[in-house]
Amino acid sequence: MVDIPESRPSRHSGGRSSPAPRWIPLALSAWLLLVGGGTVGLWTWSGTAEAEAVTVEAWPEGSALEHAKDRPTIVMFAHPKCPCTLASYEELSRALTVVERIPLVHLVLVEPEGAAADFQDSTLASRARRDGFCLVQRDRGGALAKQFGARVSGHVLLFSAAGEALFSGGITAARGHEGSNLGVQRLCAGLRGVAPEATRFPVLGCGLFDEEPGR
């Protein structure tokens, strides 16, 4: 009698497959940790203020900026290269639609001493000049920003006709993110003549005096 060898399942048959290499679960775990850590880091960065918001209680005496005596005045400080501030600008633009009379609005672009002539050339500056609802000011060396206590790009201040500071801080919920938030709601309330419940809010943006914001 001829012995017939037992058949064994081939690697393509329905038999039990070989176990996966041990490095695959380790690699998957490392990838999940990397993705999770990056996501947490992004949310932490987007929701963290660059510096504590500082403000003046009234319009600074002798400021080179014009203060309207017949309507509110808004000042927004911005770093021309900050990618976060476009969202703040959009929120400000929408906020102005809730008032019957547009306040006097200054957009102050801060630049370091010795900056190149084209330092202010940016999407934000071009957009503001095209829209035309604000006066675009150049702040070489940040003298105006320091006078008003602004340290972070996107810092908005609202003053009454009498010079009282009604609002100071940021108007986005996270860096570079548009959408309704408590800061812009309080700004709108001040523009409508309603006394804000709180006047100061954290500013979520890049430092005004950073040479390369957004890195």
Is 157:142 a contact under the CB 8 Å cutoff? no
Query: Which residue bears the tokens 């403000």?
Result: 55
Mean pLDDT of the chain: 79
DSSP character at residue 203: -
Q: Mean pLDDT lowest for which of 3-7, 91-95, 198-202?
A: 3-7
Residue written as tokens 């329905």? Answer: 14
Dump pLDDT digits (tens) for 103-148.
999 999 999 888 888 888 899 999 999 999 999 999 999 999 999 9
Q: Which pair of structure tokens corresponds to residue 133?
A: 């609802």
Which of the pair, 115 or 47, is modelled with greater confidence?
Answer: 115
Does the predicted model carry a pTM greater than 0.85? no
**What is the structure's pLDDT at 24?**
63
Q: Looking at residue 214, what is its pLDDT?
A: 53
| Three-state secondary-structure class, residue 147 | helix
Number of separate helices (H) and strands (E) present in the chain: 5, 5
Whether 151 contacts 206, CB under 8 Å: no
Bigger pLDDT: 141 vs 12: 141
Res 136: pLDDT:
96
Q: What integer pLDDT is reported at residue 175 of this predicted model?
A: 66
Q: 99: helix, coil or strand?
A: coil
Q: How far is it, in rounded angstroms, from Cα 127 to Cα 187?
A: 22
